[in-house]
């Protein structure tokens, strides 16, 4: 442990010496010879791999926000330049590309990732180099605990899992089984928080089974869960497996409602599930074409015009993270990462399309969640839960 710490400190010291004051992004001079000609911002996400729709949507939303900000004159008379990296849905690659963004592209902030496991991999690097990192979508509580340079603009799983526990209780489910992805920090976190909250509300957890990302045969675990006779099954996983799990559950005669969280949000979910998720529910960020908010509707139209298809919640979260960053860059005393960090930390009532964002003392946001219901092969807005309702 001590050795690792010393090694990390050594690397930091060497990189500071190498970078020194000559490091382009760490100077505050704007324009002119040797000054900043653009504001370099890093963007890392899963553009390919298991959860490619997560990264693609987020990147598109972020790029749209930056494009609109640049069209409106940029920040401090400079355009923002996005440096985009694909982490292929892998935590190790996330580490590598974030190091590259910081040490080679000299970005002054990093936006990413979606998946908590990959944000947890990258956050210590941003913290070590003192470059602010903003995750638009990672909900695991531990992400922002990595240090004072790590921010999130979405709600946490303390809230999301509590919402699902309240929802299950409100639906009248008394006995709920849990099927989680054992290699996914997000999945493990939600299972734990849900189980505690649902039990507190008087419910019973009938049992837990596990799978791993990439598995294709879930029938043994599903049979065990079926034997416990639950009223519903919580599957806090990603769309990449949930569609197949749902089909196999129906094949073995496990016909109760399946419950999920934001990881179900992908156009690919229903493609894989077909009709197997009819009558199921999942929690998601506050974003739906059924919400008649003018800013949200404008985003739907702008996104569709640019990319040719309808955005999902990830796209909206990427857009909000981008706009919140632009706001902080404008308010920052200078373009040093540390002044930017301070500006981010004092964000108050920022009008995101997925809700008003105030960054709290733990660098998290508190926002409403929605419950989506799957009806046939369509997703419809079913219910909204505000933080105030869940606190009571």
Which residues contact ligand PHE by CB under 6 A? 54, 114-116, 137-140, 186, 262-263, 265, 313-314
CB within 8 A of 164, min separation 6: which ones?
190, 194, 234, 259, 261, 283
The nearer residue to ligand PHE, 155 or 198, going by C-beta atoms, is 155
* Nearer of residues 186 and 286 to ligand PHE, judged by Cβ: 186
CB of 172 to ligand PHE, least distance (A): 27
Q: Closest Cα to residue 187, out of 145, 157, 159, 222?
A: 157
Q: Are 76 and 330 in contact (CB under 8 A)?
A: yes
**By C-beta, is 87 or 265 nearer to ligand PHE?**
265
- Residue 78 or 115 with smaller CB distance to ligand PHE: 115
Query: At its nearest, how many Å lie between ligand PHE and the CB of residue 59?
Result: 14
Q: Which two tokens stand for residue 28?
A: 């505050």
Yes or no: say if 189 and 138 are a contact pair by the CB < 8 Å rule. no
Find, among 256, 263, 307, 313, the residue nearest to 280 by Cα.
256
Q: Using CA atoms, how far apart are residues 150 and 128, in angstroms rounded to an integer?
A: 11
- Cβ 81 to ligand PHE shortest distance, Å: 26
Rank residues 25 and 138 by Cβ distance to ligand PHE and give the closer one. 138
- In the complex with ligand PHE, the residue whose CB is nearer, 137 or 177, is 137
Going by C-alpha positions, the residue among 150, 40, 37, 149 that lies closest to residue 105 is 40
Residue 78 C-beta: closest distance to ligand PHE, Å = 31
Cβ at position 87, least distance to ligand PHE in Å: 13
Closer to ligand PHE by Cβ: residue 215 or 339: 215
Tell how far CA 160 is from the center of its chain: 12
Q: CA gyration radius for the chain?
A: 21
Provide φ and ψ at 205, rounded to 5°.
Answer: -90, 115
Within the chain, residue ranges assigned H as helices are 2-19, 52-71, 91-103, 116-129, 157-170, 185-200, 219-227, 239-251, 267-273, 294-307, 313-331, 337-345, 387-391
Q: Minimum distance between the CB of residue 50 and ligand PHE, rounded to whole angstroms?
A: 12
Task: Find the shortest distance in angstroms from Cβ 90 to ligand PHE.
Answer: 14
């Amino acid at each position: 442990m001590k050795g690792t710490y010393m090694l990390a400190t050594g690397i930091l010291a060497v990189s500071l010496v190498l970078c020194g004051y000559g490091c382009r992004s760490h100077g505050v001079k704007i324009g002119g010879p040797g000054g900043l000609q653009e504001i370099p911002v890093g963007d890392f996400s899963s553009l390919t791999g298991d959860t490619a729709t997560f990264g693609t949507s987020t990147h598109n939303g972020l790029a749209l926000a930056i494009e609109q900000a640049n069209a409106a004159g940029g920040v401090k008379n400079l355009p923002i330049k996005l440096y985009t990296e694909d982490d292929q849905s892998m935590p190790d690659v996330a580490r590598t590309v974030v190091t590259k963004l910081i040490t080679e592209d000299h970005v002054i902030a990093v936006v990413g990732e979606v998946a908590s496991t990959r944000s947890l991999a990258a956050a210590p690097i941003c913290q070590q180099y003192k470059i602010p990192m903003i995750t638009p979508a990672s909900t695991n509580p531990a992400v922002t605990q990595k240090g004072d340079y790590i921010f999130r603009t979405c709600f946490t799983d303390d809230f999301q899992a509590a919402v699902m526990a309240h929802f299950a209780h409100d639906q009248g489910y008394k006995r709920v089984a849990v099927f989680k992805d054992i290699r996914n920090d997000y999945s493990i976190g939600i299972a734990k928080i849900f189980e505690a909250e649902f039990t507190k509300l008087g419910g019973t957890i009938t049992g837990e089974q596990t799978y791993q990302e990439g598995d294709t045969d879930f029938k043994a675990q599903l049979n065990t869960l079926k034997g416990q006779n639950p009223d519903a099954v919580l599957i806090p996983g990603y769309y990449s497996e949930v569609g197949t799990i749902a089909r196999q559950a129906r094949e073995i005669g496990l016909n109760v409602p399946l419950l999920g969280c934001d990881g179900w949000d992908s156009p690919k979910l229903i493609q894989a599930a077909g009709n197997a998720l009819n009558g199921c529910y999942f929690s998601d960020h506050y974003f739906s074409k059924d919400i008649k908010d003018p800013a949200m509707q404008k985003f739907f139209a702008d996104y569709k015009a640019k990319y040719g298809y309808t955005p999902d919640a990830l796209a909206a979260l990427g857009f909000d993270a981008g706009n919140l960053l632009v706001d902080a860059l404008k308010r920052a005393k200078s373009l040093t990462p540390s002044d930017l960090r301070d500006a981010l930390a004092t964000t108050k009532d920022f009008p995101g399309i997925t809700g008003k964002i105030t960054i709290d003392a733990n660098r998290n946001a508190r926002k409403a969640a929605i419950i989506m219901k799957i009806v046939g092969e369509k997703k419809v807005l079913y219910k909204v839960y505000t933080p105030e309702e869940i606190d009571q």
